Amino acid sequence: MNDVSMSENQFAAMAERSRFTEPTRENAIALISPRLEAALFRKVLLLTARTLVRQTLSQAWFRVWLVVILGGGLWLGLLALFAEGFQFLETTIPYADLVEQTVRYVFGTFFMALTIMLMISGAILLHSGLFRAPETAFLMTQPVRFERIFLTKYAETVLLSSWAFIILSTPLLLGYAQVVKADWPFYVAMVPYLVSFVYIPAAGGAFVCLLLARFIPKLRRMLIVVTIVVAVVGLFVLFQWISRLPRNQFLNVQWLERTLDRLSITQFRLLPSWWLASGLLAMAAGNYKDGVMFFLLILANALFLQWCCVQLAGKIYQPAYLALASRLEKRAIRRQNLFDRLVLEEFRGIPLFARQLILKDIRLFRRDPVQWSQLLVFVGLLVFYFLNLRRFYYEQFYFAWVNLVSFLNVAVVALLLTTFTTRFVFPLISLEGPRFWVLGLMPISRRAILWSKLGFALVLCPLPCAVLVFLSDAMLNVEPYVFLAHQWAMFLCCLGLTGIAVGLGARFPNFRAFSAARIASGFGGTVNLVLSTFFILVILVLAALPVHIRMIAESSFLLPTVTARISLSPLVVAWLTYGPVLAGLTTLLTMVVSLYVGMRHFERLEF
């Protein structure tokens, strides 16, 4: 009741304040000066950041060191990979002009792709901060300018985007600088270039966020129709573009020429990504005059776009916030969609209360775009990659290429599933904490609640993973027994990863946190991520790798004079024969142990 009344009071205060959108001389005196207001917000942000760092180092030190070690290893691996790639271009392509053109296209494509991803992620993060964060509701009732609230959340978005952008970009830039032996001004200018550039896609995401939030309540149906039409047209154009791609061998002259021609859009002079690529390449080549010019161009546009965002926020942020906060849902009972009816009516072997709990979790998941939108981006990129698999291969090593890539694709999907279960399945029990007293009044045991969480995960995970693996194997045209081995391995990964996430989620609950991201980033989430990664490695080695080893050993296409003399030891033969069965037993044991540990601890908890 206290939370409800506080929320109503805050909304009443915002409604009262909305009458003073255009401040007069009398009511403007209540607001402090913009400079003092900025200083106060800056102090709050610094104190918040300091507290967050201290809490992270004291409570999640294991995760911090794990991220540093694994992230550092990945960063060094990318650096070596990019350096080797640029060295390969230097030694393979005999024409200096073609090498320079290829490098420009690589830089342009890389930064253009990151620009699009930064815009999408920036819009999602900013929408969450401006319209869904609890502190935003508090700030809207205080005597502060709406522009200042927007600037605060905008700065947080830029901060979250900049570090990831820098970590992804620096291996490419340092690898190129190592090959061309760039001088020290390039290294000095690299970070200011990247930080200034982040503001441009962040501003684009801010424009999209504000405009959609302002006009969605009025044009919701029209927006849905337009989105569907754009998606259909986009898919049609994408498949047309893919169908016209060259089917030549990988990395020959014709393939390179056609690829550069298709990527010519990245060299459009008005793209900020082209400014960034051109400026950094100029600095690496010693052309400091052009390098400084492009840096000032990026900086000027970043400042101008931020100013435009602030002006737009001053006009439409408050109406957009009030429109979203006061939008009333229809009182009529909505008809259940096909998926809801499928869960409630077709799975009659599951008790009704368990089906209802599963359906509740599914509805909460799909009604929160912040939860699944970023994951959808990664799945879309995987689908796009799988659709283009046939166009990148070496003719003389096609058999080995298919054998390797098909296995690696299964591993990629399994790693994506690991991220999903850690981020979304592991926090399920913890998120029930504030509402657990409601479940306690129902005639449902805690064991049944845990089983419902497992059912929710098993409803969501297997089908998308099976479709992704099927798409990869279909594009590579693998043998039927390889396809079955991949599907078996992915099915076991789904069972084991969901069991680990649900069991450890009940063993390491965090009922004080309201954010799924914060729950997943704690000690329990780190343990879940590590154990899940180790589990998929074991399953892939036992269930998927044997079929590929057998193909290489028995094939006459790959090194026939060598493989003909291979004699497999009895232990290897047993691994190749019984590995999939052992993988199934390992999965069953992992699920049983994880769920038993979680249930035992969960049933003893006191609320």
Residue-wise pLDDT for 275-326, tens only, equals 998 999 999 888 888 889 999 999 999 999 999 998 998 888 888 888 777 7
Residue 4 lies in a domain: no
> Do 45 and 158 reside in the same domain of the chain?
yes
Residue 28 lies in a domain: no
> Do 147 and 277 reside in the same domain of the chain?
yes
Residue 296 lies in a domain: yes
Q: Report the SS3 class of residue 333.
A: coil
State the Cα–Cα distance between residues 3 and 574, nearest whole angstrom.
62
What residues make up the domain containing 61? 36-325
pLDDT of residue 227: 60
Say which residues have a Cβ less than 8 Å from residue 158's Cβ, sequence separation at least 6. Answer: 198, 199, 202
Domain end residue (candidates: 290, 325, 360): 325
> Do 321 and 384 reside in the same domain of the chain?
no
- Distances 479 to 109, 131, 363, 563 between C-alpha atoms, Å: 35, 51, 39, 20
Say which residues have a Cβ less than 8 Å from residue 526's Cβ, sequence separation at least 6. Answer: 60, 62, 63, 66
- Predicted TM-score (pTM) of this structure: 0.65
Residue 516 lies in a domain: yes
Residue 462 lies in a domain: yes
Q: Are 171 and 78 in contact (CB under 8 A)?
A: yes
Residue 68 lies in a domain: yes
State the Cα–Cα distance between residues 482 and 490, nearest whole angstrom.
12
> Do 361 and 319 reside in the same domain of the chain?
no
> Do 158 and 103 reside in the same domain of the chain?
yes
- Residue in the structure block whose two tokens are 């998120």: 431
What is the 8-class DSSP label of residue 350?
A: S
pLDDT of residue 560: 46
Structure tokens at 280: 């950094």
Domain end residue (candidates: 325, 341, 370): 325
pLDDT of residue 375: 65
Residues in the chain: 607
Q: Which of 291, 435, 437 is nearest to 364 (CA)?
A: 435
> Do 309 and 399 reside in the same domain of the chain?
no
State the Cα–Cα distance between residues 576 and 550, nearest whole angstrom.
7
Q: What angle do CA 61, 65, 68 make, to 5 degrees?
A: 140
pLDDT of residue 78: 84
> Do 364 and 312 reside in the same domain of the chain?
no
Q: Which of 590, 606, 413, 605 is nearest to 503 (CA)?
A: 590
> Do 469 and 603 reside in the same domain of the chain?
yes
pLDDT in tens, 519-553: 776 777 878 888 888 899 899 888 888 877 777 66
Q: Are 246 and 391 in contact (CB under 8 A)?
A: yes
> Do 470 and 571 reside in the same domain of the chain?
yes
Q: How many CA atoms lie within 13 A of 135 on its CB side?
A: 10
Q: How many CA atoms lie within 13 A of 51 on its CB side?
A: 6
Low-confidence ranges of the chain (pLDDT < 50): 1-6, 8, 11, 15, 18-29, 248, 328-333, 559-565
Structure tokens at 110: 């890389």
Q: Which of 100, 116, 167 is nearest to 272 (CA)?
A: 116
Q: At what angle do helices 462-476 and 480-507 cross, to 10 degrees?
A: 150
Domain end residue (candidates: 289, 308, 325): 325
Asked whether the CA dihedral 211, 215, 216, 219 is positive or negative, the reply is: negative
> Do 507 and 588 reside in the same domain of the chain?
yes
Q: Which of 507, 503, 546, 535 is nearest to 523 (CA)?
A: 507
Total domains, the chain: 2
> Do 354 and 309 reside in the same domain of the chain?
no
Mean pLDDT value across the chain: 76
Residue 338 lies in a domain: no
pLDDT of residue 567: 61
pLDDT of residue 11: 45
- Distances 425 to 457, 469, 539, 585 between C-alpha atoms, Å: 7, 21, 20, 23
> Do 181 and 133 reside in the same domain of the chain?
yes
Structure tokens at 395: 């003719």
**Where are any strands of DSSP class E within 62-179?**
none
Residue 330 lies in a domain: no
pLDDT of residue 21: 46
State the Cα–Cα distance between residues 481 and 547, nearest whole angstrom.
8
pLDDT of residue 5: 40
